[in-house]
Structure 1
């Protein structure tokens, strides 16, 4: 059962800030150095970002944002942009799916807590994007 915290609600932020954060991550994938650091901080960051995307996919859906497969498609874009091995792609997919199902179990309906969780994930994604862009820039500078 959906409650009235749709995308126009003041307690449920728009995706603009998170989209900007994700754009930074997608730009990182263009650098050949991304694949070089996938065992370090960049890999952990990409896995966490996969989890955030999975959670947001459910939370935005349950709260009536009417975005369809937007967050799943952002995940696919991120994987296609980064130079990943088959194992790394599968790990990201697993993190996305696990987070989606955990969010679905924790928040079966839209509530103020679900909206707050989505907002905190947006904030985390923005901070994470800043850290990942620093990692990507320093890895690219080594080439």
Structure 2
């Protein structure tokens, strides 16, 4: 399974440098790949809600990154539905909890940026040629 160039573009926004590397070594790499893409989608949704709430002037940046991820990795409708559901879960989970930026919301942003960058690096390292 090859990650398309657009996934790397989405991942770059989460991290300064995301190197491309070798193929997967996991036993069930397909299931792991799906799990990682769903988590990355959830993080993008959370960031789409939290970053503007905490003052970032990013407008639709994270939604656009999700669109790029869908274009690159969700050719099948069932995959697209799963990834969109993950994005919405991330967004709605924080929308239900936070109405203003709090120290906890700011901490969540920092943690999600770190986790998203880590997942993006792992995905590109495992699944690209």
Q: TM-score range by the shorter chain?
A: 0.7 to 0.9
Query: C-alpha distance in 1, partners of 2:90/2:37?
Result: 13
- 1:7 maps to none
Query: C-alpha distance in 1, partners of 2:73/2:17?
Result: 12
- 1:56 maps to 47
**TM-score, scaled relative to structure 1:** 0.69
Report if aligned partners of 2:12, 2:18 keep a CA contact under 8 Å in 1: no
Select 1:71's aligned residue among 45, 62, 74: 62
Larger Rg: 1
- Listed as ranges, the gaps of 5+ residues in structure 1 are 1-16
**3-state SS, counterpart of residue 91 of structure 2:** helix
Q: Compute the RMSD of aligned alpha carbons.
A: 2.8
Runs of 4+ in 1 over 6 A off after TM superposition: none
**3-state SS, counterpart of residue 106 of structure 1:** coil
Change (3 A) 1:24 1:76: farther
Counting matched residue pairs gives 114
